[in-house]
Amino acid sequence: MRFDCSSGAFVVECHRDWAPRGVEQFYKLVTSGYYDGNRFFRVADNPAIVQFGLNGDPEVTAKWRFSRVMDDPVKQSNVRGTICFAATRMPNSRTTQLFINRGDNSPLDRMGFAVFGKVISGMDAVDAITDEYGERPDQGAINTQGNAYLEQHFPRLDYVKKAEIVP
């Protein structure tokens, strides 16, 4: 999958043998255009991640909110450049939010975060995503107000212009 972003472009190679349910959900979301226009709303240092996956249109977010994915077993480690779904501590809580590991986050393996792919080109674009706002954007406000909230309060957030399947 190719992500054209305000910070540049990156390509994610998916591996069904790592996390088949995660790959299937990711495929559905990308082919539906779900990630187009998404802001990278969380950039954290511990663990070193960049997170996105709340749609800019609250109605679209609401349609996918309960599209939960059964957990996959962890087969690959959360190392730099890998991607997986964000989840709560509850089983089978993955929906639409993703994070890309910007460092070695292997302790997340024990917490059940199943990597389903890796960035195979453009990691410099992932590293260039602004960390200016850290973890300040409120996910509840993003859910209810979408990009209107983010553009008003966090105008320099980087975002996905277009996500698409590439051969």
Residue 153 has pLDDT above 90, yes or no: yes
Give the three-state DSSP class for 97: coil
Residues 6 or more apart in contact with residue 9 via CB below 8 angstroms: 2, 3, 122, 125
All structural domains of the chain: 2-164 (2.40.100.10)
| pTM for the model | 0.94
The string of pLDDT tens digits covering residues 99-148 is 999 999 999 999 999 999 999 999 999 999 999 999 999 999 999 999 99
Residues 6 or more apart in contact with residue 132 via CB below 8 angstroms: 156
The string of pLDDT tens digits covering residues 41-98 is 999 998 999 999 999 999 999 999 889 999 999 999 999 999 999 998 899 999 999 9
Residue 167 has pLDDT above 90, yes or no: no
